[in-house]
Structure formats: C-alpha cells, structure tokens
Amino acid sequence: MCGIIGYIGEEKAAPRIIYGLKKLEYRGYDSAGIALIDSGKIERFRAKGRISNLEEKIKREPLKGVIGIGHTRWATHGKPNEENAHPHLDCTGRITIIHNGIIENYFEIKEELKRKKHKFTSETDTEIFAHLIEEYLSEGFEKAVETALKRIRGMYAMVILCADEPDRIIAARQGSPLVIGIGRGENYIASDVPSFLKFTNRAMFLEDGDMAVITRDKVTVKNRGKKVSRQVRNIKWSADQAEKSGYAHFMMKEISEQAQAFEDTILGRFNESRGEIKFEHVDAKELKKIKKIKIVACGTSYHAAYAAKYLIEKYAAVSVEVDVASELRYSNPVVDKETLLLAVSQSGETIDTIEAFKSLKQKAGYSIAIVNVVGSTLSRMLHGVIYTHAGPEIGVAATKSFMSQLAALYLFALYIGRIKGKLDAKFVRRGIQNLRKIPGLIRIQMKEKRSIERLAGKYSKKRDFLYYGRNISYPMALEGALKLKEISYIHAEGYAAGEMKHGPIALVDDRVPNVFIAPKNALYEKIVSNIQEIKARSGTIIAITNRSNKEMKKFADDIIYIPDIDEDYYPLLEAVPLQLLAYYIGVKKGIDVDKPRNLAKSVTVE
C-alpha cells in the first residue's frame, strides 16, 4: 500500500519528507516522489524504483521549501513508472496531490475533464483530482477541495498543496488511514505513525469523511462540512511496533486489514443499480466464446481458486477445473481455444504457476492473471489481468491477499455468469449487495477476536487437527488446515466432510479436535450427520456456524459464530476465524508467525 507523508514548519521540508518515506518503505512500493512549494512555485521530483533513486535526483537541487509532500506508490491504476508516480499536478502546475486508495468514478470524471480540455499525463485515478480542484479554484483552495470531494466516490487518503496558499496542507480521508503528527511550530500528515515518530509522538487520527487544514501551528478538522475536534494521543510505540501500527505481528495487522483489502478489490468494478460488473483489463468478447475454465495456482491461492470453481459452475454453468500448478506443469492437460486459463497468485512470481502457463497459454483461447503485485511476471504474461488490491503482504502466511482473491473471484463469477447469459441483473445486484456487506461484517468479526484467542488457549497443545467442510466451505477447510500447520507447526488436514467415512474417521479419539465449517446452507443437514458420527465416537468438535443457528450447541464442544448472510457468501466470513485461530495458536506456542520456519513469501524456485 502506498505511503503518504507531508510536512509544514520552519525546517527544510525535503529531508523530513525523505526520512518519512524511508520509514514507510516497509509497506512496499515501486516508485516515489516529492513536491515542495518554494517562492510561490511547486517543485516536483519523481523516480521509479527505490527512494535512493529519488534522492539521487534531488541531491543537486537547492530545495529550500518548508512545506511539502511525499509519496511511495504501490501501483494499482497504471504501470509502476515515473509518469504514474505521485505527486500529480493539475494543468497549471499550481496544485499537487498525493493519494492512497481508489477513486471509483474517476473514469467518468476524467472524460468530463477531457471535454473541458484538461490534459492528463498519467494513467492514474489520482491525477483527475488535481484537475478537479483546478476547476473550482476560483472559490479558494479550501472550498475548491471541499467541492471536488463531493464529486468523487471511493476510498481515499488525499494530501494536497496549492502554490497560491503556501501556508497550508489540506488532507482528506475516506476509508484509507491518515494521521496528523502534531509538533511544535511544525506539523506532519502521514499514512502511518513511523514516518514522523522521531520528531513528535503526538498523533491525531483522522476519521472517514474528515478534511483537515494543517498550517504550521494549527490543525482544523471538518467532517462533511461541520467543524469537529479529534483527540490528540501520545504514542508510546517503539519504532518496530509503529511499523506494525501497534500490532504485535504483521500477520495480525494484515488480518485486520482484510476488510479494507476486500473493499479496495471490489470498488470501482461494479454498478450496483444496473447489476453490472466490469474489469478494466479483461475482454468480455473473448469470454463469451469460452466453454471451459482451468484455474491454476499454489497454496492459499489454490484454495481461493477452488472456492471459485463452485461459484462459477453455479453461476455460469461452465465447467471449471482447478489445478495445483506444480502438478499441472508435468501433466498433459486438455486445453483448447475454447478454454479460459486463470492464474491466481499473490506475488505473480510463483515459479510453478509461471512455468505451467508458459506451455499452456498458446493453446488456450484466452487467459487472465488474478494477481496482487502490479507489473509482476504473471501480470504481464497473460492476455488479461485482474489486480487484487490487498497492498503489500509482509507476513509469510497469506491472509489479506486470500481475502482479496476471493473478492475478485466472487465478482468474476457473477461477471461471467452474466456474460454467459445465465444470471440476470437482479441476481448480480443482490450479489453486489452481499459483497458490499462483507467489509462491515469482517470488522465486526475482528471486534470479537478475543473469544477465538481464548479458544486457541484451550487447544494450543494439541498435536493434530482435522478440518471439514462441504461444497464451497470445503476449500475453506483446506485453507484453515494450511494456515494452522504453517504458523503453529501442528499437523492439520482439510477434508471434504463427505470423505470422512472413507478414511479420516479412523482417527477419531479424544485427542484430535475436528473443526467443522457448518453454516446453515443447503448441505447443513449432511454436515450435522458427519458431526454426529464423530460425537458418537467421543471426538471433539469445534463448529463454525452462523449466529442464528441455535441448535449447534447440542452437537459441538465449542462454537465460533459468524454473521448471517446469503449462503454463497459464508466462505468470506469463515476465513477470518480460521486465520485468527491459527494465529493465536501459533503465538501461544511462541512461534514467529510472521516468518515461520522453512517458508518463503514467494516461492520462486522449484
């Protein structure tokens, strides 16, 4: 995720901004930039790659400005190059902006501004906001930002400078974090505390809908036009804690960021009232010709892909095969011009997935990569690409990237269902409504995480776990087991619950907990039978079911409740407790959950 830093004070701004950007490096980025106001003019420098490339550019410049902004960009809209790097400017070069998040309706606004003869120099959604402010600048800087904000939809953290009013920074937050560092005779604005913690530990966190005007010695905050006061907190974090926003581990930080990752992945890709879904880099005409889909992935990405199989077959009536890339690359699959190949990968660099596609891509009719890292090998290799907007994931265990893959795949299943003429707009609208509910429900789940921590305490000494699910909850059982073994080193297996009688039932005793994913759906009765079979043999049951299901108390030793939702959408809520259970068990066992032994974040060798 991009990093934001702004400074206003008496010191030269450039060194403070470069320092702040370096402290935000851990978030991951592919370009960096800085803009200052000096002698009534904006000076801007940007560079692809490391911050050191940016430093190289500004080293010979006498940068005297005492107000400025800086940004590290993790590409989402447009390639990771200098043109797309922030800060962006308007046509006159008097307004400059940095931004995190997504402006959902940027395309419409860009078209409108083009008609008014605005010239754009980047592929980003961000740049349109500088031009939009320019349109209203005769109202004054502050008013112009207020008016422009009313025009946009989406998730953002924006920080803006205007050369005409060099005594202020304006910042706005909707969905993406922003925090003001309150100093003496100087103030900071940043996406995260570490960027200014060395200079001040007094922080004011902005809330959604806030717009702040920051001068050297004053901060004024309005929320949707009304003046509000926001508490100033003393931050007691160490530098290391600050990078993790106060969380003990990146893994927990990333689990907590899932609601956001989900939102960022779906936003801008649908029109709810029309029941329409669109993907920028996917050719719908090609998809119309498709008769079979083959999805290829590894590890957690494979589990996301597996869940998609159930959805796509149900919504589009197209046959879907899901393959583990390491197996597929040495087999002879039937792929022809009526086959769509889908690669699912967080990193886009997993060697097995890349190699599997090298030989298959030519044979297929069309191919799409669903990846998180913009510009990664897979994102460039296939015909189309759908980016998941999870931001950088630092913990080795995939969590928020899984959630964002599911977000993209749920949308894709609805999309292809519509393209194939199997779904009507009403059904897709209902699907979009369900997807829109998910971030809020995940946030509620996170508030209840302590109950899962208690459960983890009860089971952390066990040596084996079995996970069971049916239908679309089966891949969640696979993922729950994978998460547990990765970060707690406890042996765990995931099974389709219907397979229980074909083998794993032999393992039932009072030492092996059985985690059953059992929401009230069409197959609920069947899974309850499986649970009863284990209970009858004195096995231990941990059930994950929906809150309104009161009868589970009769069968399970422990229950993790998830919110009620339309049944196809339960997996999105099952993932969170499964991750939390694994996390807390790993932590209780004293394992470094961010870097579990023997595992690499990206598997680039066979």
| 162 carries an active-site annotation | no
Site for ligand M6R in 183-222 (CB under 6 A): none
- What six digits make up the tokens of 210? 């806030």
The stretch among 23-31, 119-127, 345-353, 582-590 that binds ligand M6R (CB under 6 A) is: 345-353
Tell me if 301 contacts ligand M6R by CB under 6 A: yes
State in angstroms the smallest separation of the CB of 596 from ligand M6R.
8
Size of the site for ligand M6R (CB under 6 A): 16
Tell me if 260 contacts ligand M6R by CB under 6 A: no
C-alpha angle 201/203/209, rounded to 5°?
Answer: 165
Q: 217 phi and psi, to 5 degrees?
A: -125, 15
The stretch among 255-263, 395-403, 492-500, 503-511 that binds ligand M6R (CB under 6 A) is: 395-403
Tell me if 388 contacts ligand M6R by CB under 6 A: no
Nearer to ligand M6R, 157 or 368 (CB): 368
Of 413, 448, 486, 414, nearest to 573 by C-alpha is 448
**DSSP string over 272-333:** TTTTEE--TB--HHHHHT--EEEEEE-HHHHHHHHHHHHHHHHHH--EEEEEEHHHHTTS--
Residue nearest to ligand M6R according to CB distances in the complex: 299
State in angstroms the smallest separation of the CB of 347 from ligand M6R.
3
The sign of the torsion formed by the CA atoms of 179, 213, 13, 160 equals positive
Q: Which of 2, 23, 400, 449 is catalytic?
A: 2
Nearer to ligand M6R, 402 or 415 (CB): 402
Tell me if 521 contacts ligand M6R by CB under 6 A: no
Nearer to ligand M6R, 191 or 350 (CB): 350
Among 84, 200, 265, 345, binds ligand M6R (CB under 6 A): 345
Specify whether the CB–CB gap between 372 and 346 falls below 8 A.
yes
| 601 carries an active-site annotation | yes
Among 34, 211, 316, 398, binds ligand M6R (CB under 6 A): 398
x-marked contacts with ligand M6R along 565-604 as a string, rule CB under 6 A: ----------------------------------x--xx-
CA–CA distance, 597 with 580 (Å, rounded to integer): 19
**CA–CA distances in Å: residue 259 to residues 158, 371, 403:** 20, 18, 8
- What six digits make up the tokens of 180? 């003001």
Tell me if 404 contacts ligand M6R by CB under 6 A: no
Nearer to ligand M6R, 300 or 367 (CB): 300
Q: Which of 222, 314, 462, 601 is catalytic?
A: 601
Contacts of 560-567 with C-beta under 8 Å, sequence gap 24+, read 560/451, 560/452, 560/455, 562/445, 562/519, 563/441, 563/444, 563/445, 565/434, 565/437, 565/438, 565/441, 566/430, 566/434, 567/519, 567/520, 567/521, 567/522
Among 259, 298, 341, 428, binds ligand M6R (CB under 6 A): 298
**CA–CA distances in Å: residue 41 to residues 233, 288, 500, 581:** 34, 52, 71, 54
The residues near 93 (Cβ < 8 Å, ≥ 6 apart) are 41, 42, 163
Tell me if 326 contacts ligand M6R by CB under 6 A: no
Tell me if 471 contacts ligand M6R by CB under 6 A: no
CA–CA distance, 289 with 2 (Å, rounded to integer): 38
Of 282, 495, 521, 523, nearest to 409 by C-alpha is 282
Tell me if 350 contacts ligand M6R by CB under 6 A: yes
The stretch among 129-137, 205-213, 357-365, 390-398 that binds ligand M6R (CB under 6 A) is: 390-398
Q: Is 447 exposed, middle or buried (0-12, 13-18, 19+ CB in 10 A)?
A: exposed
Nearer to ligand M6R, 254 or 568 (CB): 254
Q: Which residues bind ligand M6R (CB under 6 A)?
A: 298-301, 345-347, 350, 353, 396-398, 486, 599, 602-603
Catalytically annotated residues: 2, 601
